[in-house]
Amino acid sequence: MTRQERAARVRTRLEELYPETPIPLDHTSPYTLLVAVLLSAQCTDKRVNQVTPALFSLADTPEAMMRVPVDAIREIIRPCGLSPRKSAAISELSRILVETHGGKVPADFEALEQLPGVGHKTASVVMAQAFGVPAFPVDTHIHRLAKRWRLSKAKNVEQTERDLKKVFPREAWNKLHLQIIFYGREYCTARGCDGKTCPLCRELNAG
Q: What is the pLDDT along the chain (207 residues), one digit of tens a residue?
A: 899 999 999 999 999 999 999 999 999 999 999 999 999 999 999 999 999 999 999 999 999 999 999 999 999 999 999 999 999 999 999 999 999 999 999 999 999 999 999 999 999 999 999 999 999 999 888 999 999 999 999 999 999 999 999 999 999 999 999 999 999 999 999 898 988 899 999 999 875
- SS3 letters across 136-191: CCCCHHHHHHHHHCCCCCCCCHHHHHHHHHHHCCHHHHHHHHHHHHHHHHHCCCCC
Range(s) of the chain covered by CATH 1.10.340.30: 30-131
Q: What is the pLDDT of residue 141?
A: 85
Residues of the chain with CATH 1.10.1670.10: 3-22+136-204
Cα gap 37→35, rounded to integer Å: 5
Question: What class does CATH assign to 3-22+136-204?
Answer: mainly alpha
What pTM was estimated for this model as a whole? 0.94
> Catalytic residue positions?
121, 139
CA distances 148 to 46, 178, 179, 196, Å, are 26, 17, 16, 9
pLDDT score for 48: 98
93: which residues sit within 8 A by CB, 6+ positions away?
34, 38, 62, 115, 116, 117, 118
The domain 30-131 having CATH identifier 1.10.340.30: the answer here is: yes
**Quick one: pLDDT at residue 194?**
86
